[in-house]
Chains A and B, each alone.
Chain A
Amino acid sequence: MEKVAIVGVGQTTYERRKEDTFDELVFEAATKALADAGGEIGDIDNIVTVSNDFWDGRTISSMAVQDAAGSWDKDISTVEGDGTFGVLYGMMRALSGSFETTLVVSHIKGSEAVMNLITNAMFDPIFHRSLGVDATSSAALQARMYMEKVKATQEDVALVSVKNHKNAMNNPHAQLPMEIGVDDVMKSKMLADPLKLLDCSPISDGAAAVVLATEKGAKRFKKSPVWIKGVGHISDAYTLGYRDLANSRALDAAAKKAYKMAGVKNPLKDLDVVELYDAYSYMEPLWYEGLGIAKEGKGVELLKSGTTAMDGDLPVNPSGGVISAHPVLVAGMTRIVESVLQLRGEAEKRQVKGAKTALAHGINGACGQSHCVFVMGV
């Protein structure tokens, strides 16, 4: 089968209120990715934009940023959802044989809309939306269900916030680099019990872009390729109550597909670095279990063992993760960008020494309804 590589990556810094327009953010990320690849817009066959009409405040918002994405005289198509799914779609376009190179861009300005109102709108309008539930309150329901199941305390999951905010201090793009302790998390404002402010990711603005190429397409660029070795993407039930929120079977299935394709037998041993979607602190140990780096119910144990710390056997979120910057729609692509930098040895102060195989993870929908897993290597 034809292989697909990532040959260029670009990202803006992530901040609460960036003084750039949507177009400027997209243009910055896209031109950075092209420059990183050592190519130009003429080397790109087609464009995929990742966007969401509610966040952008206009319908078919993808078309509005097409000029900034460089799609004049090119084919452009859209993914509404997390950036990992945009990269997945771009990869499929390459594998279809129609295009040798694809530029995928994603942007968000979370600061310009009201997060709670918009995430309320992801719920079923008839049976759930009028209850006023949103991303954070639904995550709180998942957090409690998971923490009760594995008997984790609030202090236990706060360790994710401590670890990842500290890692963010090594990442110049992160929004919340902080040296904090479990006490600080515990003392922060209770938003939706058991989730406190420092258990939650911030509202962020920013953009990211990647250049994808087939083996033939990769020859157009100077940068040595990082290959996508395996990918898996699986969805679970839409309705929260019809899903086991404390057991991510969709992530489990997605990860297994990706591992099979990539020849990963023992993920804890075979992976060198993981970038996962920790929108809320409890998600990281829950996703450890889904990714199979911890057995079911043992995610918190793995966290407490230090295995996933910067100096552990399998560092998770050296970038600081989503809890340190949460550009919705972009965040999963950021995980891919960070993984590529790790594999090239270009992750500077957050570099995991000798990283050969990396995993990037994205989620779509409330409480991780859908998961996308990429395994990459050089």
Chain B
Amino acid sequence: MAEWLDKVENVYFEGRIKVPYKWYVGEVGSRFLVALRDKKELWGTKCPKCNKVYVPPQKNCGECFVPADTWVQVKDTGTLESFTVVNYSHSMQPDKPPLMYGLIKLDGADGSMLHLIGGAAPKDLKVGMRVKAVFREKREGNILDISHFAPE
């Protein structure tokens, strides 16, 4: 065996996968996003069995496994159920850290919606605080048409 084969220089191969996707949002999700974009309105779907109102809407109630086929408008205000302040930075984040996230129980909805929190200092965030959606000026029909939720 050649002598140089005994010594290993570790070699790394750098790869990067970039595969474009285009997801059909679905009829239910499309209605939700169009209302957000064109009317700054938040709509959910209601399960006829357990009466839960899902926002973002679901076509079916996962719990009851029946179509959640009634549309219900909910308020753009709600209560902060949990929050975090993220101090690290990665390319998938929509903004620079510190980034504040919240689980927001919208008035009229069940469960809560995950979104960004803004317009407040991290130290002022509290579970139970009231927040209100802040819409972007230029809206494109995606979840970031709500820029963030700010203290009411």
Chain A residues in the interface with B (C-beta under 8 A): 19, 57, 114, 116-117, 120, 125-134, 136-137, 140-145, 148, 189-195, 237-243, 245
Q: Which partner residue on chain B sits nearest A142 by CB separation?
A: B82
**Cα–Cα, bound, A145→B103 (Å):** 10
Our pick among B63, B86, B91, B116 for the contact of A192 (Cβ within 8 Å) is B86
**Cα–Cα, bound, A243→B81 (Å):** 12
* B88 interfacial contact with A, CB 8 Å: yes
- Cβ–Cβ contact B85 & A193, under 8 A: yes
Separation in Å of the B81 CB from the closest CB of chain A? 7
Q: Which partner residue on chain A sits nearest B143 by CB separation?
A: A127
26 contacts between A and B (CB under 8 A): A57-B17, A116-B92, A117-B90, A120-B92, A127-B29, A128-B114, A129-B92, A131-B101, A132-B90, A132-B99, A140-B86, A141-B84, A141-B103, A144-B127, A145-B81, A148-B127, A189-B87, A190-B85, A191-B86, A191-B88, A192-B87, A193-B122, A237-B63, A241-B111, A241-B112, A245-B103
Separation in Å of the B140 CB from the closest CB of chain A? 11
Separation in Å of the B128 CB from the closest CB of chain A? 9
- Cβ–Cβ contact A127 & B84, under 8 A: no
**Cα–Cα, bound, A129→B82 (Å):** 18
* B23 interfacial contact with A, CB 8 Å: yes
Q: Which partner residue on chain B sits nearest A128 by CB separation?
A: B114
Contact indicator per residue, chain B 93-121, by CB within 8 Å of chain A (1) or not (0): 11100010111000000011111100000
Tell whether A241 pairs with B103 under 8 Å between CB atoms, given A131-B116, A131-B143. yes
- Cβ–Cβ contact B62 & A134, under 8 A: no
Separation in Å of the A8 CB from the closest CB of chain B? 31
Residues of A within 8 A of B144 (CB): 130-131
- Cβ–Cβ contact A116 & B90, under 8 A: yes
* B43 interfacial contact with A, CB 8 Å: no
Most chain A CB within 10 A, of B84, B115, B116, is at: B84
Separation in Å of the B59 CB from the closest CB of chain A? 13
Contact indicator per residue, chain B 12-48, by CB within 8 Å of chain A (1) or not (0): 0001010001010100010000000000000000000
Our pick among A126, A128, A137 for the contact of B84 (Cβ within 8 Å) is A137
- Cβ–Cβ contact A148 & B82, under 8 A: yes
Q: Which partner residue on chain A sits nearest B30 by CB separation?
A: A126
Residues of B within 8 A of A189 (CB): 87
- Cβ–Cβ contact A116 & B88, under 8 A: yes
Residues of B within 8 A of A143 (CB): 84
**Cα–Cα, bound, A142→B92 (Å):** 21
- Cβ–Cβ contact B84 & A144, under 8 A: yes
* B67 interfacial contact with A, CB 8 Å: no
- Cβ–Cβ contact A241 & B127, under 8 A: no
Our pick among A129, A131, A195, A237 for the contact of B115 (Cβ within 8 Å) is A131
Separation in Å of the A20 CB from the closest CB of chain B? 11
* B151 interfacial contact with A, CB 8 Å: no
